[in-house]
């Protein structure tokens, strides 16, 4: 781990890299008002592991009223705007530096900020679909429903297009993310504790030159990184952009 002018050194790496990829988690969206699930004020801290049940396939199937009450209150993200990290990554993509963004988040804020090549490992909260006929709806169909949202075509339950606890990740998204990471010479990991698998294991696909971790807390992969930055991620990207010029 290097200690002198870290952000300036990283900026120089980004200016000269062939293919940089960003892999992020909940910490990317905390400055937008969305709490980190396991951080202070997050759903895990406030409700413990019990909140995982309310976001599980089991709850959706066995207690759909409880599932949608919890989801509607905590996971719809209507009116939330992109933050500094989302905007910085979109600008770096336009400059050809960041080639893709891989996110564990479901809030859609990377796309809202202007990023085009975004891989959403856990799905997207802005879309929902009927479990019977697969008709798609916008998130407002769940947000504005009274009780269990149903399909106007067949009457089936309309669920969010996200990966719930007890469900596997979408195989195509996982393969696309693995390919992007394998192809990168720079991987920036930000705003994630890298403790929840299988998403956390994505880092193991990286065989490039520069692994950079930006997270306020320790991660299991810190010892493998060339740089470990213990600063707010938006602050880091704002400074890095200044050095990139």
**Candidates 86, 110, 122, 210; catalytic one:** 122
Non-local CB neighbours of 138 within 8 Å, separated by 6+ positions: 126, 127, 128
Non-local CB neighbours of 31 within 8 Å, separated by 6+ positions: 83, 84, 85, 232, 234
141 catalytic residue (yes or no): no
Nearest of 216, 209, 168 to residue 185 by alpha carbon:
209
Nearest of 43, 53, 46 to residue 165 by alpha carbon:
53
43: tokens are 């759903």
Distances (CA, A) of 10 to 19, 191, 237: 14, 17, 10
By annotation, the residues acting in catalysis are 122
């Amino acid at each position: 781990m290097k200690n002198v002018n870290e952000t300036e050194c990283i900026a120089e790496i980004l200016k000269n890299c062939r293919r940089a990829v960003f892999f992020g988690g909940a910490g990317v969206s905390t400055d937008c008002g969305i709490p980190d699930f396991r951080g202070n004020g997050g759903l895990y801290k406030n409700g413990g592991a019990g909140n995982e049940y309310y976001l599980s396939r089991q709850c959706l199937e066995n207690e759909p009223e409880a599932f949608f009450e919890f989801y509607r209150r905590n996971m719809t993200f209507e009116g939330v705007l992109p933050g500094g990290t989302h905007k910085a990554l979109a600008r770096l993509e336009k400059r050809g530096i960041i080639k893709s963004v891989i996110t564990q988040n479901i809030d859609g804020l990377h796309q809202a900020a202007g990023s085009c090549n975004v891989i959403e490992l856990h799905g997207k909260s802005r879309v929902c679909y009927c479990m019977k006929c697969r008709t798609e709806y916008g998130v407002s169909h769940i947000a504005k429903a009274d009780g269990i949202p149903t399909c106007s075509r067949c009457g089936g339950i309309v669920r969010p297009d996200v990966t719930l606890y007890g469900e596997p990740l979408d195989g195509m998204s996982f393969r696309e993310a693995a390919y992007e990471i394998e192809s990168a010479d720079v991987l920036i990991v930000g705003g994630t504790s890298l403790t929840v698998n299988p998403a956390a294991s994505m880092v193991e696909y990286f065989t490039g030159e520069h692994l950079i971790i930006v997270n306020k807390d320790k991660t299991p992969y810190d010892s493998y990184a060339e740089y470990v930055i213990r600063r707010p991620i938006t602050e880091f990207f704002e400074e890095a952009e200044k050095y990139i010029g």
